[in-house]
Structure 1
Amino acid sequence: MDTVQKFAPTVGRVFLALIFILAGLGKIPAPEGTIGYMEAFGVPGFLFWPTVAVEVIGGLFLLVGFQTRWAAAALGAFTLIAALIFHNNFADQMEMTAFLKNLAITGGMLYVIAFGAGAFSVDGRKPKATLATQG
């Protein structure tokens, strides 16, 4: 395996994870602003904390490569739904860019789902030999 193939999955996972972890943590100090934004688009405010949980926990799982395919599926679906709800005003260049950014992130998650976490991950660790497998 060449160097790029060895390290790229980990670097890609870290880059994808950071946007979710930082976005989720950034919402915590002032939830009112995010709740107001959500409600302006018809999303109930009580979904604020589940949103933060998906972003932070899913991001952390992706970061360390634990249950990576499931985390990527959840974050990919979350991101696509957010794009459709919050960034669908294509007459506004900024909103269209945000929509396309979310599509790109969802595409990255599809790669993670398809190819896994890579060698440098909790999922990528080889199971330790047990007495039964040692012969």
Structure 2
Amino acid sequence: MNETSPSPAAALPLIGRIGIAAIFLLSGFSKLAAPAATIGYIQSAGLPLPQVAFGIAALIEVGGGLALVLGFRTRIVAAILAAFAIVTAFAFHHDLADQGQFINFWKNVAMAGGLLQVVAFGAGRFSLDARR
């Protein structure tokens, strides 16, 4: 392999970004498919302006997920998604006596940890950021 050929490890940041983005994309598109149910869930959590919160959440999840996959403004997007994961952990999964909420709380914390790795190390070679 010559010095201009990428090593197989160069694809790992892309694979990692796709893996992390998958949960945000799935969640965002699920929200868009059932807005009334999502708005009701947001209301049940006692958050103000549930329609606005729905729009913000869908935008962050779909827009952020797509940007993460593409590697566009990756460090900023990953920081926003990490903050979103922590905020949603505390807003929706704070009853740690409930096993489902306990698991989802720590899943969100783990996602934020992975996203902070992206903030620290960037998008990698196969990204729009690398082309800028």
Normalised TM-score (structure 2):
0.90
Does residue 15 in structure 1 map to residue 3 in structure 2?
Answer: no
Q: Deviations over 1:73-94 (max 9, x none)?
A: 1111011000011011111111
Q: Distance in 2 between matches of 1:30 and 1:86?
A: 18
Structure 2 residue 127 is the aligned partner of structure 1 residue 121: yes
Q: State the Cα distance separating 1:21 from its structure 2 match.
A: 1.2
Partners in 2 of 1:32 and 1:2 — Cα distance? 47
Q: 1:68: how far off?
A: 0.2
1:45 alignment counterpart: 50
Structure 1 moving runs of 4+ over 4 Å: none
1:29 Cα offset (Å): 2.0
| Structure 1 position 102 matched with structure 2 position 117 | no
Question: Which one of 72, 82, 87 corresponds to residue 81 of structure 1?
Answer: 87
**Considering only CA atoms, is the larger Rg found in Structure 1 or Structure 2?**
1
Shift of 1:3: 2.5
Which residue does 1:133 correspond to in 2? none
Gaps of at least 5 residues in structure 1 are 128-135
Cα shift at 1:2: 4.7
RMSD over aligned Cα, in angstroms?
Answer: 1.2
Tell me, what secondary structure is at the counterpart of 1:28?
A: helix
CA distance in 2, matches of 1:26, 1:92: 23
Unpaired segments ≥5 residues, structure 2: 1-5
In structure 2, the residue matched to 1:131 is none
In structure 2, C-alpha distance between the alignment counterparts of 1:60 and 1:16, rounded to whole Å: 11
Q: How many angstroms apart in 1 are the aligned matches of 2:69 and 2:84?
A: 17
Q: Percent identity?
A: 44
* Partners of 1:29 and 1:86 in 2: CA distance: 20
Query: What is the distance in 1 between the residues matched to 2:66 and 2:50?
Result: 24
TM-score normalised by structure 1 residue count? 0.88
Q: How many residues align?
A: 125
